[in-house]
Amino acid sequence: MKRLALAALLLALAAPPAFAADTPVDPAAISAHVKILADDSFEGRGVGTEGEKKTIAYVSQQFARAGFQPGGPDGAWVQPVTLRRFEVSNPTARLQVGGWSQALTQGEQIVMSTRRPAQRVDIRNAPLVFVGYGVSAPERGWDDYKGQDLKGKIAVVLVNDADFEDPALNTFGGKAMTYYGRWTYKYEEAARRGAEGVLIVHETRPASYGWNTVKNSWSGPQFDIVRKDPDKERIPLEAWLQRDTAVELFKRAGLDFEAEKYRARSRDFRPVVLKDASLSAAFDVATSTIQSNNVIGLLPGAKRPGEYVLYTAHWDHLGVGAPDANGDAIFNGAVDNATGTAALIELARLFASGPRPERSIVLIAFTAEESGLLGSEYYASNPVYPLAMTVAGFNMDALNVAGRTRDIGVVGSGETDLEDDLARVAKTQNRVVVPDSTPEAGGFFRSDHFPLAKRGVPMLYAGGGDDFIDDPAKSKAMVDDYGRNRYHQADDEWSPDWDLRGAAEDVSLLYLIGLDLANSPRWPQWRADAAFKAARDATAAERR
């Protein structure tokens, strides 16, 4: 991608475009912002890089131009987020079973990292224990560990949770992934049990992404919040293992991988020590503390400024990594998530250009989403605006660039009555709301709404569906191509071939719902059986 004449584009964006009455968000404006944010000069918007500085400057400048004011602490545009940065070098690894051994190459058979402060990780001949899905869920009568001592050992775990392969079991909600299926949980639980490390066996279907995504996401620097006692909360080795390598490992240990995987679907599963099997792994770790930033814009409410309607997106991507087959080393993150960041900028223009809403509007571009929702987790733990007084939130991550749809999907559907608002407004576009089409992918736990939702803030994460209108075959091919060849890869670049009319309609819906809430006294509610209703109910007295 060629570098842009940024000044010329900024000048062009200063003049507001014309809009259709039923779609106030302008597709051309979103495209223009994405083109800038995903330009090579932003270096993939890596956390703690010059690309971050450019991104923060651009987003805050656009918020200010629209008419928002700084919304961070002490009148600043940013909320500082202190992170630890971990960069692995000189990695080596080897599996051994009796007299058989296999060297593992970083990025090929294995991807290794750590989020535990150290100068070096050096694991020698650590025994391997297969612990199924690596889940301990007492409330579901499920324990994959069954008292297995993991100190000094490596846990081998499966992706997702037990219901993925057989939803009829309905032990973990059927088809929909629970938090127990997320890689973050598997590492956290192993740390609680004192394991030396974890090997997650990668399989494309249950992970919902291919090996290239794992390789690109974990081969570069990793980040974490600064923890009081990281030795208790993190394991020395966080790793993914190629499925074919895992199959061979099990075979050498006298086990059939598919048979053991089948056994792991049962509550009766017990950990299996891989006989005579061990892993040796070593790498140097450069650990440093950096300051990254959430970017926050505020439009104070005219009548009830102490009540807040929130819009969120993450500004970060993977930065600069290893060159791909085309020699491209910049992970531009155009769809993921320059589109969502561009939508925040468009929302700033819309809210500030009309009559001042009665409630305050807060726009947050989070950092370090790609490292495990760290920016949103930090904000949720250290809110600039009280979570009890946050009316609702709308998250935007990887917008639809493939055209208009008749439907709009809700990620993690069935949680709040915001979906009723969405259905009502969607009718004005002759569209319908549909449930999450891929709940097994665990999207509800993979974006920045989640840290806020689990603390009780009603959040809506919705986007274009699957029923494309204008050229369904072309649109679906674009979606498939993105998932296969562009997601978390260097080819996630801005394209003049995008059709952003669907994205504009989606963001328009979120704008209209938020505008209505900002001018009403209503407080959205969680459904009666929602997991996070209790957290919201606990703060009810603060809203009276």
Residues belonging to the chain: 544
pLDDT in tens, 117-151: 999 999 999 999 999 999 999 989 999 999 999 99
pLDDT (0 to 100) of residue 381: 93
Is the bond preceding residue 337 a cis peptide, omega within 30 degrees? yes
Residue 22 confidence class, pLDDT cut points 50, 70, 90: low
- Highest mean pLDDT (candidates 180-184, 208-212, 278-282, 409-413): 278-282
Contact yes or no for 264/120 (Cβ under 8 A): no
Q: How far is CA 106 from CA 129, 215, 321, 383, 441, in A?
A: 22, 8, 14, 38, 25
pLDDT in tens, 527-542: 998 889 999 999 999 9
Q: How far is CA 63 from CA 71, 179, 361, in A?
A: 10, 34, 12
Task: Please tell me the distance from the alpha carbon of residue 108 to that of residue 488, in angstroms, as a whole number.
Answer: 16
pLDDT (0 to 100) of residue 1: 35
Residue 408 confidence class, pLDDT cut points 50, 70, 90: very high
Residue 176 confidence class, pLDDT cut points 50, 70, 90: confident
Helix (H) or strand (E) holding 289: strand 272-299
The three-class DSSP label of residue 395 is: strand
Q: Ramachandran region of residue 98, left (φ > 0), alpha (ψ -120 to 50) or beta?
A: left
Task: Please tell me the distance from the alpha carbon of residue 190 to that of residue 197, in angstroms, as a whole number.
Answer: 7
pLDDT (0 to 100) of residue 529: 87
Residue 13 confidence class, pLDDT cut points 50, 70, 90: very low
| 15: pLDDT strictly greater than 60 | no
Task: Name the nearest CA neighbour of 194 among 228, 227, 149, 151.
Answer: 151
pLDDT (0 to 100) of residue 174: 85
Q: 156-165, 176-185, 311-320, 483-492: lowest mean pLDDT where?
A: 176-185
Strand partners, 294: 79
Homologous superfamily in CATH for domain 18-47+300-543:
Zn peptidases (3.40.630.10)
Q: How many of the other CB atoms lie within 10 Å of CB of 472?
A: 14
Name the CA radius of gyration of the chain, rounded. 23
pLDDT (0 to 100) of residue 10: 36
pLDDT (0 to 100) of residue 322: 86
Burial pattern 197-218, b for ≥16 Cβ within 10 A else e, equals bbbbbbbeebbbbbbebbbbbb
Written as one string, the DSSP assignment of 87-105 is: EEEEEEEEEEETTEEEEE-
The three-class DSSP label of residue 275 is: strand
Quote the mean pLDDT of the chain.
92
pLDDT in tens, 312-342: 999 999 999 888 888 999 999 999 999 999 9
Task: Please tell me the distance from the alpha carbon of residue 203 to that of residue 206, in angstroms, as a whole number.
Answer: 6
Domain 85-287 -> CATH class: alpha beta
Q: How far is CA 538 from CA 359, 387, 451, 542, in A?
A: 22, 12, 17, 9
Domain residues of the chain, as ranges? 18-47+300-543, 85-287
- Kindly state the DSSP code that residue 486 receives in the 8-state scheme: I
Sequence-distant (≥ 6) Cβ neighbours of residue 534 within 8 angstroms: 456
As a whole number, mean pLDDT of residues 490-503 equals: 96
pLDDT (0 to 100) of residue 383: 97
| 8: pLDDT strictly greater than 90 | no
As a whole number, mean pLDDT of residues 83-93 equals: 96
Task: Please tell me the distance from the alpha carbon of residue 191 to that of residue 235, in angstroms, as a whole number.
Answer: 5
| 2: pLDDT strictly greater than 50 | no
pLDDT in tens, 46-79: 999 999 999 999 999 999 999 999 999 999 999 9
pLDDT in tens, 440-472: 878 888 899 999 999 999 999 999 899 999 999
Task: Name the nearest CA neighbour of 157 among 40, 260, 81.
Answer: 260
Residue 4 confidence class, pLDDT cut points 50, 70, 90: very low
Task: Please tell me the distance from the alpha carbon of residue 159 to that of residue 240, in angstroms, as a whole number.
Answer: 10
Strand partners, 198: 155, 238
pLDDT (0 to 100) of residue 19: 28
| 7: pLDDT strictly greater than 60 | no
